[in-house]
A and B are shown apart, each in its own frame.
Chain A
Amino acid sequence: MKKIGIVLKKELYRVFSDKKLILSLFVLPAVLMFALYGLIGMLERNMSRDIETHVPVTYIVNATDGLKAAAAAAGFDKNASIDYLTEEAYLTLKDRLTEDIREGAADLIVILDKDFEKTFAAYQGQGDKIPGVGILFNSAENYSQQAYAVFSGVLETYRMMLLEQRLGNLEKIVAFAQRDTEIVKEGKANTQFIAMMFPYMIMIMLFSGAMSISVDAFAGEKERGTLASMLIAPVKRTDIAAGKVIALAIIAALSSVVYAVSMILSMTLMGNTISGGAGGFGGVSFNAGQVLELGLMLIVLDYLFVAVIAVLSSFSKDVKSASTLVTPVYMVVLACALMTMFSSGAKNSLTRYAVPLYGNALALQDICTGELSAQGFLVSFGVTALLAGLLTFLLAKIFDSDKLMFNA
């Protein structure tokens, strides 16, 4: 046991005394996250500000006084450049204006039927003519889409004005009032977004963190002949295996904590510009039980990842072939995490939690939504711990194999 500690300490020192490794494992990811999300946030804010402040180029054909009043009431006339056209004028310009919309030079054309209000007033009963409004806009242009959305509000105001004129009292057309009350199971308050993304993000971060250091720590050391220097010391192979794997799991965990914290922080700093982003993380709340389950699950999963990579890397001749072996496993991890993103939320059977990787992703998701049963947790945790232990012994066996370690 004491020798596991000696090996572990050396492996930790190996990383923490290497400035380049510290930079690439802990500093650069944080900087990258902040830079990336900061940039996305800035661009996003600029874009929405630009769209909001843009003066929409609008043409209104056969405008009525009522519509103008509605536009004034909605404040649309102050923020837009509006050209009021007669139908004759519009017909001569029609082709050019349509082209302008297509090219983004104009944002909106609103065409009221000729004698709009007269037709409205003349309405007596079913079968009579109903006046119409045609709107031309370009859904591929942000400005045009925004103008369309804002003008829809103007039309709604206009509609209400006209209806009030006709009916006198608008309550006549209100059939019932709707009252919504949300009932949410405590703990499941963590939004759909986070529950969907959580296992995926966690598994990617843990695995990639483990991969970046573990391949070199086993295949690299084997290739350089430094692993053998430990194999001729009077230490049990299992002690070397466990010491190395625990140390690397600690480093991988720290590295993913840096990733996660910098991601959450930068998303929060970025503000709520991306829907669900900061809001989703801001809304997360875990109770003590969930935190404990989550912590234990992450520790055992992290160890499993490092152990898997360690076995494959020690099995390989060099770093290159180790990477080739590890990449498909990474894909399997990604696939397992992805599969949980699109689950329906139906209760999971215990056997599902027993499937390595997929069961872990499921368990992580259910911890997040507060739906993981104690049995479910124990099954997933137990299977993972067992597998991680078996892999450590397998790693020790590989260390003991002269064929695998020394090409004998």
Chain B
Amino acid sequence: MISVQNLTKVYKLNARKMKELKTSEGRKIAVNDVSFEAKPGEIYGLLGPNGAGKTTTLRCIATLLKPTEGSVSVNGFDTVTEGEKVRGAIAFLTNEINLDPHFTPSYLFHFFGQLHGMTEEAIARRREELFSVFDIGGFADKKIDELSTGMKQKAAIAVTLVHDPQVVIFDEPTSGLDILTARTVTDYLRKLRDEGKTVIVSTHIMSEAEKLCDRIGIIIGGRKVSEGTLAQIYAGTGADDLEEAFFRLYKEYGEADA
């Protein structure tokens, strides 16, 4: 269970960043008063264009960023005051967090299993299961450095799931993957949902969101502009597919921001 309440995250910009973003304002509101809940047994999708605030929101949930205002809780634990408990309950996958290329998937799987306080038998059992689901077996003892992009991503997913977490937070989990690997990943996310886990993913790929997510929150310019099942979003926007619905929302809310 993830509960995001009135989350606002403001970045302070230094002189260089201000120049990069061509702004004279010393702060940037990345997420603006966003609230939503993701429940066990569902896949919640955060949909939005690049820079909308999806990753920032997920990082706040994963305890890596502290909300400027509002609060986030995971399974009842506050992400700021009970960060360690939150981290024990989640798996977090994002592009900017990487496995050390010097190690093998096997070593890192074992290492993170230990950090999660798992026993040797439990680690071995999970290893067998996840390495077979993601077809890592033959590459388990090769350095991450020597793996293909797809295999690296699959290894990263396996390692983040070592402790069989109740809450799974994946930031653009299929980006850069071929169609087969992407399918393995989305299939596994469905399996996790069916097991009663809380799954939240971010994506800017409409077809993926349509097929994968039970509920979708659309974020534009740091604000949540729509939320619900596909049917609810279609009804709200008068569109008959997600892409069309998104464009209509973007016209309504995005252009004011741009």
A contacts, CB < 8 Å to B: 3, 6-7, 10, 13-14, 17-18, 221, 224-226, 228-236, 402-403, 405-408
Add 16 more A-B contacts to A228-B97, A233-B112, A408-B11 (CB < 8 A).
Answer: A224-B98, A225-B98, A226-B97, A228-B96, A229-B97, A229-B98, A229-B100, A230-B115, A232-B87, A232-B90, A233-B87, A234-B85, A235-B87, A235-B115, A402-B59, A408-B66
Known: A231-B64, A232-B87, A402-B65. A226 touches B100 (CB 8 A): yes
Nearest chain A residue, comparing its CB with the CB of B63: A232
CB atoms of A6 and B102 under 8 A apart: no
**Chain A residues, Cβ within 8 Å of B12:** 403
CB atoms of A228 and B111 under 8 A apart: no
Closest chain-A Cβ to B35's Cβ sits at a distance in Å of 20
Closest chain-B Cβ to A112's Cβ sits at a distance in Å of 78
**B188 touches A (CB below 8 Å):** no
8 Å CB contacts to A: which residues of B198-237? none
Known: A234-B116, A406-B59. A228 touches B103 (CB 8 A): no
CB atoms of A232 and B84 under 8 A apart: no
**Chain B residues, Cβ within 8 Å of A232:** 62-64, 87, 90, 92, 97
Number of A-B contacts (CB under 8 A): 70
> Which 4 residue pairs of A and B lie closest in terms of their CB atoms, listed nearest first?
A234-B88, A225-B98, A233-B115, A226-B100
14 A-B pairs within 8 Å (CB atoms) are namely: A6-B114, A14-B103, A17-B102, A226-B99, A229-B100, A232-B63, A233-B112, A234-B115, A234-B117, A235-B115, A406-B64, A407-B11, A408-B9, A408-B65
Q: What is the CA–CA distance of A233 and B66 in the complex, to the nearest angstrom?
A: 16
Q: What is the CA–CA distance of A402 and B85 in the complex, to the nearest angstrom?
A: 18
Q: What is the CA–CA distance of A228 and B68 in the complex, to the nearest angstrom?
A: 21
Nearest chain B residue, comparing its CB with the CB of A3: B115
Nearest chain B residue, comparing its CB with the CB of A403: B12
Q: What is the CA–CA distance of A228 and B171 in the complex, to the nearest angstrom?
A: 15
CB atoms of B84 and A234 under 8 A apart: yes
Contact mask for chain B residues 63-94; partner A; CB cutoff 8 A; 1 contact, 0 none: 11110000000000000000011011010100
CB atoms of B87 and A234 under 8 A apart: yes
Q: What is the CA–CA distance of A14 and B101 in the complex, to the nearest angstrom?
A: 10
8 Å CB contacts to A: which residues of B107-153? 107, 111-112, 114-117
Nearest chain A residue, comparing its CB with the CB of B84: A234
Q: What is the CA–CA distance of A125 and B85 in the complex, to the nearest angstrom?
A: 105
Q: What is the CA–CA distance of A13 and B9 in the complex, to the nearest angstrom?
A: 38
Known: A229-B100, A232-B92, A234-B84. A6 touches B111 (CB 8 A): yes
Q: What is the CA–CA distance of A3 and B87 in the complex, to the nearest angstrom?
A: 15
Which one, A221, A224, A235, A402, contacts B64 given CB within 8 A?
Answer: A402
**Chain B residues, Cβ within 8 Å of A10:** 111
Closest chain-B Cβ to A373's Cβ sits at a distance in Å of 45
**Chain B residues, Cβ within 8 Å of A235:** 84, 87, 115
CB atoms of A406 and B65 under 8 A apart: yes
CB atoms of B88 and A221 under 8 A apart: no
Closest chain-B Cβ to A326's Cβ sits at a distance in Å of 21
CB atoms of A233 and B102 under 8 A apart: no
Closest chain-B Cβ to A235's Cβ sits at a distance in Å of 5
Nearest chain A residue, comparing its CB with the CB of B163: A234
Q: What is the CA–CA distance of A235 and B88 in the complex, to the nearest angstrom?
A: 9
**Chain B residues, Cβ within 8 Å of A405:** 64
Closest chain-A Cβ to B23's Cβ sits at a distance in Å of 16
**Chain B residues, Cβ within 8 Å of A6:** 111, 114-115
CB atoms of A233 and B116 under 8 A apart: yes
Known: A232-B92, A235-B115. A14 touches B100 (CB 8 A): yes
Closest chain-B Cβ to A387's Cβ sits at a distance in Å of 27
**Chain A residues, Cβ within 8 Å of B63:** 232
**Chain A residues, Cβ within 8 Å of B90:** 232
Closest chain-B Cβ to A406's Cβ sits at a distance in Å of 6
Nearest chain B residue, comparing its CB with the CB of A231: B64
CB atoms of A18 and B102 under 8 A apart: yes
Known: A18-B102, A230-B115, A408-B65. A225 touches B87 (CB 8 A): no
**Chain B residues, Cβ within 8 Å of A402:** 59, 64-66
**Chain B residues, Cβ within 8 Å of A226:** 97-101
Residue from A17, A236, A408 whose CB has the most chain B CB atoms within 10 Å: A408
Q: What is the CA–CA distance of A18 and B145 in the complex, to the nearest angstrom?
A: 13
Nearest chain B residue, comparing its CB with the CB of A224: B98
Nearest chain B residue, comparing its CB with the CB of A400: B83
**Chain B residues, Cβ within 8 Å of A403:** 12
**Chain B residues, Cβ within 8 Å of A236:** 84
Q: What is the CA–CA distance of A234 and B117 in the complex, to the nearest angstrom?
A: 9
Q: What is the CA–CA distance of A3 and B114 in the complex, to the nearest angstrom?
A: 8
Closest chain-A Cβ to B60's Cβ sits at a distance in Å of 9
Q: What is the CA–CA distance of A236 and B114 in the complex, to the nearest angstrom?
A: 14
Which one, B66, B85, B97, B115, contacts A225 given CB within 8 A?
Answer: B97
Residue from A18, A224, A233 whose CB has the most chain B CB atoms within 10 Å: A233
**Chain B residues, Cβ within 8 Å of A221:** 100
Closest chain-A Cβ to B193's Cβ sits at a distance in Å of 21
Closest chain-B Cβ to A308's Cβ sits at a distance in Å of 24
Nearest chain B residue, comparing its CB with the CB of A6: B114
**Chain A residues, Cβ within 8 Å of B116:** 233-234
CB atoms of A228 and B100 under 8 A apart: no
Closest chain-A Cβ to B76's Cβ sits at a distance in Å of 16
Nearest chain A residue, comparing its CB with the CB of B92: A232
Q: What is the CA–CA distance of A232 and B11 in the complex, to the nearest angstrom?
A: 21
Q: What is the CA–CA distance of A389 and B9 in the complex, to the nearest angstrom?
A: 32
Closest chain-A Cβ to B105's Cβ sits at a distance in Å of 13
Closest chain-A Cβ to B200's Cβ sits at a distance in Å of 15
CB atoms of B88 and A225 under 8 A apart: no
Q: What is the CA–CA distance of A6 and B102 in the complex, to the nearest angstrom?
A: 17
CB atoms of B64 and A228 under 8 A apart: yes
Q: What is the CA–CA distance of A165 and B34 in the complex, to the nearest angstrom?
A: 114
CB atoms of A225 and B103 under 8 A apart: no
8 Å CB contacts to A: which residues of B34-66? 59, 62-66
Q: What is the CA–CA distance of A232 and B93 in the complex, to the nearest angstrom?
A: 10
Q: What is the CA–CA distance of A7 and B65 in the complex, to the nearest angstrom?
A: 23
